[in-house]
Amino acid sequence: MSEPVQTPQTFPTRIFSGIQPSGGLTLGNYLGALKRFVEKQDEGIETIYCLVDMHAITVWQEPEKLRQQTREGAAAFIAAGIDPKRSILFNQSQVSAHVELGWIFNCVARMGWMSRMTQWKDKAGKNAEAQSLGLFAYPSLMAADILVYKATHVPVGEDQKQHLELCRDIAIKFNNDYGVNFFPVVEPVIEGAATRVMSLRDGTRKMSKSDPSDQSRINLTDNADMIAAKIRKAKTDPLPLPDSVEGLKDRPEARNLVSIYAALSGHSVAKVVHDFAGAQFGTFKPALADLAVATLTPITTEMNRLMQDPAEIDRILGEGAERADALARPNLEQVYDILGMIRSRRR
Ligand code: TYM
């Protein structure tokens, strides 16, 4: 066996996470992921963040738009506080180790595991036959994204939980199949008041960049007027805000807006409920709009500034990819060795 058996504790803490550049980023991506990516970086943990363009093409993307959205995603990371010197920031397709390990994991993961993924079932719906094979295999590539760095912790929103459980299953099966303790069993990091930001039009559905209604979401590219208008028009119920967190039960729209307020302000849901107990939405919504505009406008402004210089963004992504590759490649070479593949080509 080429790798000495390690105990799980010997894996140093390393964070990996990714966002698809398949559309503009939303407030859900910001609160559920991006804002927390910055917090982890600022805690001094080793952080690797990726615009997962290879995931994006599991559904057809217009090439020029994909390029633009990848740059815009990178600009959003930087504008939100990711420092490309302290974190590694890159786009997935520039580090081919991801897809190489992804293929290997396609041979580890079982069809049954993949068929049970709720996101696959939701996206494929009744039309599974017409979906790309890539969309079905997607969670196995996601596991490779993480494990090629032997990352131990993965900050994500609630909707990615099942994919991370699959990542754990793949790591365990690989380790068992080859009698090694090579891959860590990752910990999902799903924290904060807004792990599942819901649509502004329907509090039972996730806020998503793919929702046909632009009114359902706040985009990181929306200006102050658009943000305020969307919050003003957000669906609510006729009751005033409750005086306890339990009072938000069965009120999905109210709970969503309160959670967004909590996440934006950095306070707990309990504190927001306490501060606005008995308030009408006519009072709460303008307060939320002010807070959202004050938080998001500086990010949007900085994104727009960064987007003026696409060559600089590409340079940052390229440099990040080189650093990412230097970490991923040796791990992948060890995997090939574990698998019994001859690696005699001179490099
Ligand atoms: P994606 O691009 O759909 O979303 C990126 C991140 O944003 C979070 N998120 C939300 N959080 C709260 N409320 C919402 N409404 C909301 N919408 C999105 C997601 O949970 C995610 O954390 N498969 C992943 C991308 C990926 C990845 C990875 C993530 C590929 N490889 C490896 C982590 C590690 C995805 O499609 O995320």
**Residue 182: per-residue pLDDT:** 98
Name the helix (H) or strand (E) containing 252. Answer: helix 252-265
Residues lower than pLDDT 70 in the chain: 1-9
Residue among 16, 27, 52, 208 to mutate when testing ligand 1 (max atoms within 8 A of CB): 52
Ligand 1 atom 31, closest CA:
142
Q: The CATH number of the domain where 229 resides is what?
A: 1.10.240.10
Q: Which two tokens stand for residue 336?
A: 């090939």
| 317 and 265, same domain (yes or no) | no
Tell me: the pLDDT tens digits for 207-220? Answer: 999 899 999 999 99
Taking the CA atoms of residue 104, residue 107, residue 110 and residue 116 in that order, the dihedral angle to the nearest 10 degrees is 40
Active site residue 209: yes
**Residue 326: per-residue pLDDT:** 98
Q: Which residues line ligand 1 (CB under 6 A)?
A: 16-20, 28-29, 32-33, 52, 55, 142, 145-146, 154, 156-157, 159-160, 163, 194-197, 206-207
3-state class percentages of the chain: helix first, strand second, coil last, to nearest 5: 60, 5, 35
Inter-residue contact 231 to 285 (CB < 8 Å): yes
CA dist., res. 97 & res. 170, Å (int): 17
| 189 and 222, same domain (yes or no) | no
| 115 and 26, same domain (yes or no) | yes
In a domain? residue 346: no
Active site residue 126: no
Active site residue 235: no
CA distances to 7, 162, 211 from 144, rounded to whole Å, are: 21, 15, 28
Q: What is the total count of domains within the chain?
A: 2
pTM of this structure? 0.96
Q: How far is the CA of 161 from the centre of ligand 1 (A)?
A: 10
Q: The CATH number of the domain where 66 resides is what?
A: 3.40.50.620
| 30 and 94, same domain (yes or no) | yes
Structural domain that includes position 152:
14-195+309-339
Place of tokens 């079932």: 121
327 Cβ contact list (under 8 Å, min separation 6): 48, 88, 149
256 Cβ contact list (under 8 Å, min separation 6): 197, 198, 200, 203
The ligand 1 atom at the shortest distance from the C-alpha of residue 156 is 22
| 25 and 129, same domain (yes or no) | yes
**Residue 1: per-residue pLDDT:** 44
**Residue 10: per-residue pLDDT:** 84
In a domain? residue 204: no
